[in-house]
Structure 1
């Protein structure tokens, strides 16, 4: 059994945390021989509920789980951590202006970036989940200058999984038969779910380009893309609560692939700091097709971008530029 790794989850008393923590503690993410110490951070009024979560984790009787640290203090939560899953964020409430939401989240992620910089291991892997995830990730990274920017990412794997599922349902295959879908851009309704480079293995064993397997460009442009873009809102309308189970699953997928690597014949979608690939402004946190190896990621290069795709990629980039500028203004 290896030495325990320390994994922080913020907003840990919330719905996503409740759906996520068992999988982390049970070895579903970092392996069945990797001991783990969970650091659970939440706001002071949630400490009672957080204590209940700790009781439940103890009651699961998980051999890999060595300790559970519950706290409302960043100095404790971020100390010597190997992985940070930043779920907690200010949600948008009725009547709240977008700039007010950004300002509230800037305060949270500026503070957490500084805490990472001061207390976490310099090798820490940071996954930002709380929305607006891309911009929160950017703010966090900017406030942790001693930690490499490539150690920061934001969650677009949920959108990626949604896209795979929609294609699988359309073609009549299981989701493992769908490969190389891409989410470009922002984790918002401007994102571009892209199947132009995707492949589908049909039930007869034949592998086709997704476009050829679907044979319905109208469905791709006018059904598939809007469904994936607006899936989160549809879940809120149906459940009266935001995605939790599927978000937790996507967090696990994201971290597992970052930790152990992606399959040779597939890639995933991650929001990462742009290096200028595909003409996306350098420094933006933008979702790209990503391959992982040796706990590092790289952007898949050389994919053909036509004018239609370029327009959609640019629109979501423009939204991210506006979000970034508004967030920076809020720090002044």
Structure 2
């Protein structure tokens, strides 16, 4: 064994520690972040041997709350957590980042029109995109969670021209998990017995949860979801509306938006970017639509079936699309085109 090799080992013959990666969570004083930060800091996302520097970014009035979050993270005594940095400054928050999880956005308030919501969020994500462009690593992986997530992601990407478009994605994994779970419950199997559901389009009530290509393992055999469920009317009706409207149903019941399930979906999404998807499986994420084979307008962030490897993604091409699916895919694309055009008008102001 060479000397250099010996030096890179500890006395227990374990490889020496990896360099910490730097991860920012925006909206870090909010409830999604509260469910998310522990999972990141304990190694559930980036690996059980990957040290983390966690940057918590929020607006100035939330800094006292962030101090409490920092105390709790310290009190968890997590071995991988090297440093926690609370801040309200983008130059601190976005410096030298390996990963950015953009949770913070302007929520829709009662009586607020969608265009008002878009206008407020264009300002936020234009500023954050510009800060990423200026301060983060060019290899940074950016996940946009704050709604309207697809269009916010597009604005952030356009405001960060030196970072590849492929490095930006938005969260539709929560919808994907909801769809998988609904099928699993219907078939009486564990959730991981369902694979390859697809969320097409926008993270909104126009999204299309599609199980035409999904498989369910029932009593040891893998069968098509339609054959496992044996209820086409449910799959084309109530199943779709349940997934589309699930966020609103949670708010109605809990008087708060989905936080635990959103945090779990963020972890799933980022872990798959870091470690890849399983052979023969795909997940859903909102990505830049350029060059897609499904006829979706190109200058959008649109949710597709995705496979990941070596921190890069590709759209699963060539899946047969029937007329029922085509109509729903086009309807959600039309909403995204409308959102994009409204947002771009604000962006140019």
TM bucket (normalised to shorter chain) is over 0.9
Matched, 1:216 2:225: no
Cα offsets for 1:20-47 (capped at 9, x unmatched): 0000000000011000000100010000
Deviation at 1:237, TM superposition (A): 0.3
Q: Number of paired residues?
A: 331
Structure 2 match to 1:70? 86
The counterpart of 1:21, out of the listed 23, 29, 37, is 37
- Give the match for residue 233 of structure 1: 248
| Alpha-carbon displacement from aligned partner over 1:250-282 (angstroms, at most 9, x marks no partner) | 000000001000000211000000024200011
For residue 121 of structure 2, what is the aligned residue in structure 1?
Answer: 105
Q: 2:280 aligns with which of 241, 250, 265?
A: 265
Gaps of 5+ in 1: none
Aligned Cα root-mean-square deviation (Å): 0.6
Structure showing greater Rg: 2
The residue number in structure 2 matching 1:134 is: 150
Task: Please give the secondary structure, in 1, of the residue aligned with 2:19.
Answer: strand
Q: Select which of 97, 110, 114 maps to 1:94.
A: 110
Aligned residue in 2 for 1:249:
264
Match of residue 154 from structure 1? 170
SS in 1 for 2:314: strand
SS in 2 for 1:2: coil
- In 2: Cα distance, 1:251 partner to 1:222 partner: 27
For structure 2, the residue ranges without an aligned partner over 5 or more in a row are 1-16
| Secondary structure at the counterpart of residue 3 of structure 1 | coil
Output the TM-score relative to the length of structure 2. Answer: 0.94
| Structure 1 residues 204-258: Cα deviation after superposition (integer angstroms, max 9, x where no partner) | 2111100011111100111100000000000000001000000000000000001
The question of 1:185 aligning with 2:175 is answered no
* Whole-angstrom CA distance in 2 between matches of 1:296 and 1:12: 27
The equivalent of 1:308 in structure 2 is: 324
Secondary structure, counterpart of 1:200 in structure 2: strand
Q: Partner residue of 2:14?
A: none
Q: Distance in 1 between matches of 2:41 and 2:325?
A: 40
> How far apart are 1:183 and its partner, in Å?
0.2
Match of 1:60 in 2: 76
CA–CA separation in structure 2 for the residues paired with 1:212 and 1:276: 33
- Structure 1 CA distance, aligned partners of 2:319 and 2:310? 23
Moved over 3 A (4+): none
TM-score (norm. length: structure 1): 0.99
Describe the SS at the equivalent of 2:153: helix
Secondary structure (helix, strand or coil) at the match of 1:328 reads helix
Q: Which of residues 273, 279, 294 in structure 1 aligns to 2:295?
A: 279
